[in-house]
Amino acid sequence: MRIGDIFIAGRKKRERVVAEISLAYLTQFALEIGRARSWDEAIVFLNQEGRAYEMWKRGMTAGEDYIKSELRSPLDFC
């Protein structure tokens, strides 16, 4: 997709991207604290008690906060 002179990549399967990032971080954090988990165990963990959805909501909130702070900065974007 093109907006003016800027090319925007096509839509991707966002659920998969979020899941892969979450799994990568989860397995890394578990390893760091001495509680290593396999990818399968991490998937089960994320699917329990709405954890994956909660991570998504928090990620969206953090992204919104970041964009707002950048838009408030005195520098123009382009």
Report which of residues 2 and 22 the model is more confident about: 22
Report which of residues 76 and 28 the model is more confident about: 28
Give pTM, 2 decimals: 0.57
- Indicate whether 78 belongs to any domain: no
Question: Domain count of the chain?
Answer: 1
- Indicate whether 20 belongs to any domain: yes
What's the rounded Cα separation, in Å, for the pair 47 and 19?
10
User: Domain range spanning residue 54?
Assistant: 2-71
48-73 pLDDT, tens digit each: 888 888 888 898 999 999 999 988 88
35-52 pLDDT, tens digit each: 999 988 988 888 888 888
